[in-house]
Amino acid sequence: MKHFPVILVFASLLTSCGGGKPEARITINPSDTIAVMAEPIDSVTMSASINASGMITTENEARLSFKTGGVVQQVLVEEGQQVRQGQLLASLNTTEIDAQVRQVQLSVEKAERDNQRASNLYKDSVATLEQLQNSRTGVDIARQNLQQARFNQQFAKIYAPRNGFVVRKLLNAGEVAGPGSPVLVINELSGNSRWILRAGVSDREWSAIATGNTAAITMDAYPGRTFRGVVSSKSLAADPASGSFRVEIRMDPEGVQPAAGMFGKAVITPSESRRGYSIPYESLLEANGKKGFVFVTNDGRTVRRVEVTIASLDGQRVFISEGLAGHAFVVTSGSPYLKEGSFIRISNPVR
């Protein structure tokens, strides 16, 4: 192949007396230029997919506890065990609670005797109406205390609220449970509660996603398989810890039995299309999350290094949402040898 020198004209020096001096020229040898390949940058409309990842779980999770504190007498299930609605899961030693119930029952009996005595004395005009009313109030208070004690006695046992499975077992027999402290964590798995992928997305991605959008879900536990999913809900507030917005994708396990806590990835397809730029994957440099760099050229002789925002990856193409406006060509080959302002020669035909 023959190489022809590239001539750059920097200035023309003109004399003031009508004579002229030769133009000052700088010659760039072919060895000083870098051969690259490039293609035009065209704006395209496409439904850019959104990549998200998170944990597999179910829609409803219950943290089961005793209403009152006490010594755990028995825990009848283990982690991972399937449970059915109404099944007894755990119970407290009720010695103390039963004693409290009996104590309140005795208080009710005494209050009723006192009320009967006050009623008889009132009929004999010995007790006042106020004393009779106070005795009746004492009976009502005692009966309410008995109802409360029996309620606490009833909730000294934990039953499964729905069909599901045990995710975590936090206490064992012999340990002391505090009032309201979780003993078991149950994930509901029934007709109304299904497997979901709970993922975090950026604010820009959150605005592009709508409930009902389809998604393709993959899990490391099932290599080579792709599960269908649908966006079921979007959070209306960011996670204070991560700053991301939560999106829940209801998935169809298609006969497999995943486990809560598995890692999953989703490719969400928004229903609305967006304007952007499609470039070859090879053009992208130093990609980090949603940011990357490419080399562009407008004159076909020098290059600029510009930052771009990556919307999605699709096979061998990259969808760029920002950073390429106003540029004519993107370098597709030879980028590792370039730097800002490098001289180039385009070796492939471009339109």
Residues 198 and 256 in one domain: yes
Q: Number of structural domains, the chain?
A: 4
The yes-or-no verdict on residue 278 having pLDDT over 90 is no
Instruction: Enter the pTM of the model.
Output: 0.51
> Are 304 and 340 within 8 A, CB to CB?
yes
Cα 86 to Cα 59, 62, 64, 83, 162: the distances in Å are 20, 14, 13, 9, 7
User: Both ends of the chain: CA-CA distance in Å?
Assistant: 22
pLDDT in tens, 280-337: 888 888 888 788 999 999 998 999 999 998 877 766 788 888 899 889 999 999 888 8
Please tell me whether residues 201 and 259 are part of one structural domain: yes
Residue range of the domain that includes 112: 95-155
CATH assignment of the domain containing 181: 2.40.50.100
Alpha helices in the chain (DSSP H): 95-123, 129-154, 203-208
| pLDDT band per the 50, 70, 90 thresholds, residue 191 | low
| Within-domain flag for 25 | no
Verify that 293 and 332 share a domain, yes or no: yes
So what's the pLDDT on residue 294?
A: 94
Q: HSE-up of 236 (CA within 13 Å, CB side)?
A: 0
Distance (Å, whole) CA 343 – CA 35 = 9
Whether residue 81 is found in the same domain as residue 134: no
Q: In this structure, are residues 56 and 262 in contact, taking their beta carbons and an 8 Å threshold?
A: yes
Average pLDDT over residues 19-24: 48
Position 269 pLDDT exceeds 60: yes
Whether the per-residue pLDDT at 17 is higher than 60: the answer is no
Residues 6+ apart with CB under 8 A from 31: none
Q: Which residue has the tokens 């909730």?
A: 155
Residue 15 has pLDDT above 60, yes or no: no
Both 300 and 242 in one domain: the answer is: no
Say how far apart CA 304 and CA 124 lie, in whole Å.
109
pLDDT at 47: 63
Q: How confident is the model at residue 254 (pLDDT cuts 50, 70, 90)?
A: confident
pLDDT of residue 48 exceeding 70, the answer is no
> What CATH number corresponds to the domain at position 205?
2.40.30.170
Residues in the chain: 351
Residue 172 inside a domain? The answer is: yes
Instruction: State the angle between helix axes of 95-123 and 129-154 in degrees (0 to 180), rounded to the nearest 10.
Output: 160
Using DSSP, state whether 151 is helix, strand or coil.
helix
Nearest alpha-carbon partner for 149 in 182, 209, 103, 190: 103
What does the mean pLDDT of the chain come to?
84
Same domain, 138 and 227: no
Task: Look up residue 333 and give its amino acid.
Answer: S
pLDDT of residue 163: 86
Output the pLDDT for position 303: 93
pLDDT value at residue 6: 38
Q: Are 197 and 166 in contact (CB under 8 A)?
A: no
Q: Clarify whether residues 82 and 165 are in a common domain.
A: yes
On whether the CB atoms of residues 233 and 166 are closer than 8 A, the answer is no
Residue 77: the pLDDT is 92
With 80 as the cut, is the pLDDT of residue 92 above it? yes
The closest of 325, 310, 323 to 42, measured between CA atoms, is 325
pLDDT tens sequence across 123-181? 888 889 998 899 999 999 999 999 999 998 888 999 998 888 888 899 999 999 999 89
Both tokens of 187, joined, read 């994930």
pLDDT digits (tens, 9 = 90+) for 103-126: 999 999 999 999 999 999 988 888
